[in-house]
Amino acid sequence: MNREKGSKLKFLLEAWPGGTVYAAAWLAQHGIGDDLLAQYRKSGWVKAVGNGAAARAGDRIEWTGGVYALQEQLRLPIHIGGKTALEMQGYAHFLPLGKGQSVWLFGSPRLKLPAWFRKYEWGHGIRYVTAELFGKDKGLGLTSKDMGTYRITLSAAERAILELLHLIPQQGSFEGALHLMEGLTTLRPEMIQTLMERCWSVKIKRLFLYMAEKCNHAWVSKLKLSRITLGKGNRVIVKGGQLNTKYQITVPK
């Protein structure tokens, strides 16, 4: 290996956060094309992560290290959301994110995950939801989490619970969501207000208010309900349930 290639490799390995994936497209932008990357793999310095990404040889990579590449290198508007975001912030202790648990990611409509991420065996089922729940402001209600050597973007609790409610009943249970809502005693009313005013889904907003009131959360009294549009007509959430006349949704009997 000549000096130039060796210098690039030295830079790459020193700058590489432990536990993360590097997308081949990002590497190419920094002078490490497919041929050079293939040499690094052959020499045992890096290992392939599907067709289109790589990791340091011997490095243990997690799904969060793959999300890091999507967010920081490819700059895709994708974030960790819903139940997974709540669990990662300590709001779902009874749902440990152990091996085999589903991971929920959210992205913009028509945005696809790269094949290398979709096909890699992360040890978790990747559940990817494309939805624009809060208008064009893709950063609204997002936060970041320190993973030690890198940071990732995920939904703050206020946004995460609304994303979870979006999936009911097709991909989530009413009872499970209500159980999670019980633990959300410290939500920020200002953030809830902004999210609820921008949320296009009547179902999400009605469900959220019904569950929050049922849990007797103190922050509910600080919301300006007159500024939250709840639409008209009944919404069937639970088949065979009973109608809650205040929010016009069917809930378990």
**Does the pLDDT at position 95 exceed 60?**
no
For residues 85 and 206, membership in a common domain is answered with yes
* Last residue in a domain, options 39, 56, 73: 56
Per-residue pLDDT band at 40 (split at 50, 70, 90): confident
Residues 97 and 165 in one domain: yes
End of a domain among 56, 76, 94?
A: 56
Task: Find the mean pLDDT for residues 196-219.
Answer: 96
Q: Is residue 29 located within the same domain as residue 99?
A: no
Entry field: residues in the chain: 253
b vs e for 149-175, b when ≥16 Cβ sit within 10 Å of the residue's Cβ?
ebebbbbbbbbbbbbbbbbbeeebebe
Q: Which residues form the domain of 129?
A: 63-251
Residue 55 amino acid letter? A
pLDDT value at position 208?
97
Q: Is the peptide bond before 109 cis (omega within 30 degrees of 0)?
A: no
- What number is the average pLDDT over the span 127-144? 91
| Same domain membership, residue 172 and residue 137 | yes
Q: Is the pLDDT of residue 250 over 80?
A: yes
Higher confidence at residue 195 or residue 35?
Answer: 195
Same domain, 46 and 68: no
Is residue 29 located within the same domain as residue 87? no
Same domain, 30 and 68: no
**Is 52 in contact with 1 (CB distance < 8 Å)?**
no
The domain boundary residue, chosen from 56, 79, 101: 56
Residues 215 and 175 in one domain: yes
Confidence of residue 2 (pLDDT cuts 50, 70, 90): low
36 pLDDT higher than 90: no
Residues whose CB falls within 8 Å of the CB of residue 202, separated by 6 or more in sequence, listed in order: 229, 230, 231, 235
Burial category of 135 from C-beta neighbours within 10 Å (exposed 0-12, middle 13-18, buried 19 and up): exposed
Whole-model pTM: value is 0.90
In this predicted structure, what is the pLDDT of residue 81? 97
Q: What is the mean pLDDT of the chain?
A: 89
Shared domain for 19 and 67, answered yes or no, is no
User: Which tokens sit at 47?
Assistant: 């290992």
Please count the structural domains in the chain: 2
Q: Positive or negative, the Cα torsion across 115, 117, 121, 127?
A: negative
